Amino acid sequence: MLWKPMGLIMIIPTIGAALLITWQTRAIKSELLHNLAVDFWIIANAYWMLTEFYSKNDSLRFYTIIPFSIGLIIIAYYYIFIKPKEKKVTELAN
């Protein structure tokens, strides 16, 4: 089956492109945090794919919750703490 090696090969450029986009948008806090979350979600998906393709142990795929949760925590941090501060600064400026 050709899909397994192709999937494995595509992990590197996908993560690389996501990290590059994250690096390029690091000056904008909202973009940086959203892209960091996406990076962790891509890592979780890549790990899930690897365990589906190459592991007989089904319990290994549940470790994808770790990077996925980190991504959710980053997004929650932005919307709970940073966005309200940015909104206050904008309101004060007006």
Q: How many domains does the chain have?
A: 1
pLDDT average, residue stretch 23-33: 97
Token digits for 19? 């990290």
Whole-number pLDDT of residue 36: 98
Give per-residue pLDDT as tens, 29-73. Answer: 999 999 999 999 999 999 999 999 999 998 999 999 999 999 999
Q: What is the mean pLDDT of the chain?
A: 94
What letter does residue 26 receive in the DSSP assignment? T
Say how far apart CA 4 and CA 88 lie, in whole Å: 49
Structural domain for 48, as ranges: 3-93
Q: Are 15 and 46 in contact (CB under 8 A)?
A: yes
Question: Can you tell me whether residue 71 is helix, strand or coil?
Answer: helix
Q: Please list, residue by residue across 38-60, b when 16 or more beta carbons sit within 10 angstroms of its beta carbon and e when fewer do.
A: bbbbbbbebbbbbbeeeeeeeee
Whole-number pLDDT of residue 92: 82
